[in-house]
Structure formats: structure tokens, C-alpha cells
Chains A and B, each alone.
Chain A
Amino acid sequence: DTAVSQTPKYLVTQMGNDKSIKCEQNLGHDTMYWYKQDSKKFLKIMFSYNNKELIINETVPNRFSPKSPDKAHLNLHINSLELGDSAVYFCASSQFPSRALPGVFYEQYFGPGTRLTVT
């Protein structure tokens, strides 16, 4: 059973195109995330959603638009792709609620990643 899945695994596209990456989790978690890992392997959070509501938005260009049709899915749509968007994108999920309980630990579960190459 795959806990957090992403499609596609690889995505090669040209500059200026619009593309989407899909993420699904079957863990029943309330919160989902998108991270970007660049060519230097630096991993940085982009967005988080809790029950379809945007919680974290880390100064990501407007060309990136996450969409959460339900709490089990968080898709990432990217408009007008640029060379600098080439990276590995990871989806993650956790049980983190809208109001965190002090002292309670919420592990994040990551998907296998989507390698996006923009040419």
C-alpha cells in the first residue's frame, strides 16, 4: 500500500508550458504539503494545506498554484514553466490539525518525488 503517491514520476517539458503534478495520500491525514528540492539538493517547503485550506505559502511565484479537491489530494499546477523550475517536487502529508496540540508529534510522510525537467 502506497501511503503518499505522486504522478508522474518524471516530467520533461518545454519552457512556457503549463503542467500539473498530482498527489494523493491514503493515510487519512488532514494536512498535505509540497516541497521543492533543487539541483543542489536543498529541500524547501512551498505550500501546506489543512482540510483543503491553504496554511503555508512560502513566497512561491504566482505561477505555482496548489489545488486541493479534497483532503486526500493536493495537486500542483505550474504555469509558464521556466528553466529554474527544474527540480524534484515532493508531496507530503501529516496528521497536523488546524490547531496543534502542545507536545503532540506529527510525523510527515513523503511521496517518492516527481522529477521535473524544463528544457
Chain B
Amino acid sequence: DAKTTQPNSMESNEEEPVHLPCNHSTISGTDYIHWYRQLPSQGPEYVIHGLTSNVNNRMASLAIAEDRKSSTLILHRATLRDAAVYYCILRGHNTDKLIFGTGTRLQVFP
């Protein structure tokens, strides 16, 4: 299973953009990049996913490096509610198995 590397923690001020990096140098050509987040005392929730192209949805944007060895989750304007642990996960194209790493704990300050 391909692994991901993320910083343990990051900080942001409210209403500022946040860029959460993820390295996945052993990614295979058919691995999808997923991001989930876990708010305090809750189960994980889906944020965004992508394969090669950058992706945008109502929650965030995902910027994928051209060589796919890294990606960045972008929260355009952080809110207090965005304080969570963010997990970058690689998933093979024919499996539903999610392998969670240690994630990045994001703190958002007012």
C-alpha cells in the first residue's frame, strides 16, 4: 500500500487560506488521492479526491503536482469549524480500502 507523509500539525488564523501538504512519492498510476477530515469527537468525513487534475468543490480545492508525488489541500478561508485532523489517503482504483496515516492536525485561531 502506497504511503503518505503529512506534517503533524499546522496553524492558521480564521478567514485566512490554508495549504495542507501531502507527499506520496510511491504513488502508482492508478492510485486516487483522497482527503478526509475528522472533527473533534466525530467520525471522519470526505473532503475531496482527485487523480491527476486539480479539483474544486464547495469545501476545498486539491492541487496535484504534475508528477503526482505530492498534493496540497487548500482551504480558501479557514473557519473555526475547520479545526480537525486532515488525512491524505491513497486508494487503488479497484479497491475501497482506505489506509489512514497520522494526518495533520489543523488549529484555527480567531
Contacts and interface: CB of A to CB of B under 8 A. Distances in A.
B44 interface: yes
Interface of B: 32, 36, 38, 41-46, 49, 85, 87, 93-100, 102-103
A42 B38 CA distance: 12
B96 A90 contact: no
A11 interface: no
A94 B96 contact: yes
Contact of A45 (B41, B49, B97, B102): B97
Contacts of B45: 109-110
A108 interface: yes
Main SS of chain B's interface residues?
loop
A90 B45 CA distance: 12
Interface residues on A, range: 20 to 34
A-B pairs, top 6 by smallest CB distance, nearest first, are: A110-B43, A96-B96, A43-B100, A107-B46, A90-B43, A100-B94
Interface in A63-119: 90, 92, 94, 96, 100, 102-103, 105-113
Contacts of B96: 31, 48, 94, 96, 100, 106, 108
